[in-house]
Amino acid sequence: MELQTTIWFVVGASFALYFAIAIWSKAGSASEFYVAGKGIHPIANGMATAADWMSAASFISMAGLIAFMGYGGSAYLMGWTGGYVLLALLLAPYLRKFGKFTVPDFIGDRFYSPAARIVAVISLLVISLTYIVGQMTGVAVAFSRFLELDLFWGMVVGMTVVFSYTVLGGMKGITYTQIAQYVVLIFAYTVPAIFISLQLTGWFFPQIGLGATLSDGSGTYMLTKLNELVVDLGFAEYTTNASFGTLNIFLLTMALMIGTAGLPHVIVRFFTVPRVKDARRSAGWALIFIAILYTTAPAVGAMAMYNLVKTVHTGKEIKENQTLEHESRPQWMKNWESTGLLKFNDKNGDGKIQFYNDKNKAFTPTAEGYGWKGNELTVNNDIMVLANPEIAKLPNWVIALVAAGGIAAALSTAAGLLLVISSSISHDLLKGIIAKNISEKNELLAGRIAMSFAILLAGYLGLNPPGFAAQTVALAFGLAASSLFPVLMMGIFYKKMNKQGAIAGMLAGLLITILYIFVYKGFFFIPGTNLLPDTPQGWIFGISPQGFGTIGALINVAVAMLVAKITPEPSKEIQELVERVRIPR
């Protein structure tokens, strides 16, 4: 079966499965729509949580980021996985014990304030809309390359699939669909990695292959050889942290950790289990399911970079100056050039592809000695995982599986985000503040209408993308870290935190983080609209926008504590409520 037919068959089969689950699991009540009736088994919830959280950034972009950043990319691995430890220990069981549907539900009731609920909703919408941009653009990238659809029609197909199981099934439909999507994406990620590990090192497990010797008989460790290759091309050693300073590694890791623990579409998953102890068990299972992909990602990134360099530089050593002729480039390059995510610019007119670090001034004399006049190959980080099977010349069914996995990763997270956007409008604003006596039937209808509009907005953002990479998604984590995580922690563990402190802290943390991102990233991260250059030299104290969420969180806590000290304490009833939630009976 030819490649395109195989891709259509595999992706179509996965879509058919999602539609079938949507019809089977249609939500009939508000409880089923928002929290799946609180009847999901911890193992199933852990698998759904893993799919919900492992977005297009994790599947498509993270390994590509590691491929080009090397060791510096480990901050994303440590931050995103470490956040689940915080979530399991500090938030999940207590929020489940509180017994509400949503994060603004908890904040509004704990701080006895409609205003606190509204600020939480605003924070949630900003976080979710920032996050969803990457997911829908990821859908468009996968569709445009693998399904060969026009960007508009690719987005229409993606929106239709998401609409089917989110609007019909709500959290119930999303949960069971995400379980299926987890199976698809984990196979799609690990199977190519196993093939490539066997090709390069002879080891079945990529995690072992990463630290093994190459199978070419040289006895050289793969990472040692990769270090030599990239250094010979003017890049820093792959295994050293040259792309990020120690301060930014710490701040980014911390922002991703506390941001993970504060993500509303992840937290709401722990409201779907029957009992409090199941919430903690769910977090544990989710970490196990996530670890399968996250321990594989460093190997995928390193092997992708190795294969890319060896494809372009055809000699045994870089110093031999034997590079690939553009006319003889492999089919995978032609395929990705058509998407615009891989570009060739023949600067010296020799018809060959030169790939190197032309920003390294120390390497410039060497490059000029080869007759090179600048880097000629531009590779988007986000194609590395999707292109890896093609680079390694794997079977068509493996390439098709990767296409289905990339789409599944983007759709699963998009669904979770759409649900929290919908619930924040229909449940937290409409039922919680505007129309408290609304019937369950009308609330459910309002939720579905809100979700429909959210899907249309997500589609628009996907068709007009501001850019897509794991760094962009990291900004959403920073926003969650600076706004929701501190107030949730103080709401659970500091019974004297009052509504004035919570509101002031959330606003301070959210606004200063948005301002910092706006100054360096521009309006909605659109290039050219930033006020200051987005470079380490331009950042305040060298702090990157991706890591600023940690500073925002500290400001949130400081402002909240200060305001709480100079305003009245919460009532005795509220303080007793916090004690009941926090202390087991």
Q: Determine the number of helices (DSSP H) and then strands (DSSP E) in the chain.
A: 26, 2
Specify whether the CB–CB gap between 300 and 381 falls below 8 A: no
Give tens-digit pLDDT for 412-432. 677 777 777 777 777 667 776
* pTM of the entire predicted model: 0.79
Calpha distance 567→565 (Å, rounded): 6
Specify whether the CB–CB gap between 210 and 298 falls below 8 A: yes
Specify whether the CB–CB gap between 171 and 452 falls below 8 A: no
Two structure tokens written together for 342:
């891989």
Cα 394–Cα 60–Cα 215 angle in degrees, nearest 5: 40
Give tens-digit pLDDT for 75-123. 788 887 787 778 777 777 787 777 666 778 888 888 888 888 888 888 8
Q: Which residues contact residue 268 at a Cβ distance below 8 angstroms, ignoring those fewer than 6 apart?
A: 34, 35, 101, 102, 103, 171, 416, 419, 420, 423
Q: Residue 363 domain-assigned?
A: no
Q: Residue 507 domain-assigned?
A: no
Calpha distance 539→175 (Å, rounded): 41
CA dihedral 212, 217, 218, 224 (to 10 degrees): -20
Report DSSP state, residue 543: -
Q: Which pLDDT score, from 0 to 100, does residue 468 have?
A: 44
Q: Residue 238 domain-assigned?
A: yes
Q: Residue 408 domain-assigned?
A: yes
Specify whether the CB–CB gap between 28 and 447 falls below 8 A: no
- Residue 546 burial class via C-beta count within 10 angstroms: exposed 0-12, middle 13-18, buried 19 and up: buried
Q: Which residues pair with 344 in a beta bridge?
A: 377
Specify whether the CB–CB gap between 41 and 216 falls below 8 A: no
Lowest-confidence pick of 94-103, 188-197, 495-504: 94-103
Q: Residue 544 domain-assigned?
A: no
Lowest-confidence pick of 14-28, 232-246, 546-560: 14-28
Q: Residue 574 domain-assigned?
A: no
Taking CA atoms, 332 is separated from 378, 379, 391, in Å, by 14, 12, 6
Please say if the pLDDT value at position 467 is more than 50.
no
Q: Residue 526 domain-assigned?
A: no
Which of 296, 32, 281, 301 is CA-nearest to residue 176?
Answer: 32
Two structure tokens written together for 537:
């030299």
Dihedral pair phi/psi, residue 488, rounded to 5° = -65, -45
Calpha distance 31→70 (Å, rounded): 45
CATH of the domain at 151: 1.10.4160.10
Calpha distance 567→277 (Å, rounded): 36
Give the domain range for residue 91.
Answer: 3-303+391-473
Q: Which pLDDT score, from 0 to 100, does residue 61 have?
A: 75
Two structure tokens written together for 364:
């410039």
Calpha distance 270→277 (Å, rounded): 10
Two structure tokens written together for 174:
């999303």
Which of 462, 481, 488 is CA-nearest to residue 545?
Answer: 481
- 3-state DSSP helix/strand/coil % of the chain, to nearest 5: 75, 0, 25
Going by pLDDT thresholds of 50, 70 and 90, the confidence category of residue 170 is low
User: Would you put residue 221 in left (φ > 0), alpha (ψ -120 to 50) or beta?
Assistant: beta
Going by pLDDT thresholds of 50, 70 and 90, the confidence category of residue 171 is low
- The tokens 């948005």 sit on which residue? 514
Q: Which pLDDT score, from 0 to 100, does residue 147 have?
A: 66
Structural domains in the chain (count): 1
Going by pLDDT thresholds of 50, 70 and 90, the confidence category of residue 230 is confident
What is the b/e burial string over 480-507, where b = at least 16 CB atoms within 10 angstroms of the residue's CB?
A: bbbbbbbbbbbbbebbebbbbbbbbbbb
Q: Which residues pair with 323 in a beta bridge?
A: 313
- The tokens 């779907």 sit on which residue? 272
Calpha distance 355→376 (Å, rounded): 6
Contacts 24+ apart (CB under 8 A), 1-5: 1/396, 2/396, 3/396, 3/399, 3/400, 4/148
Q: What is the mean pLDDT of the chain?
A: 80
Which of 6, 16, 18, 13 is CA-nearest to residue 147?
Answer: 6
Q: Which pLDDT score, from 0 to 100, does residue 565 have?
A: 93
Tell me what the mean pLDDT of segment 26-46 comes to.
Answer: 65
Query: Would strands 342-344 and 377-379 be described as parallel, antiparallel, or unpaired?
Result: antiparallel
Two structure tokens written together for 141:
């990238």
The SS3 of residue 341 is coil
Handedness of CA 159, 165, 170, 175 (dihedral sign): negative
Going by pLDDT thresholds of 50, 70 and 90, the confidence category of residue 149 is low
Give tens-digit pLDDT for 366-394. 888 888 888 888 888 777 888 878 877 88
Q: Residue 432 domain-assigned?
A: yes
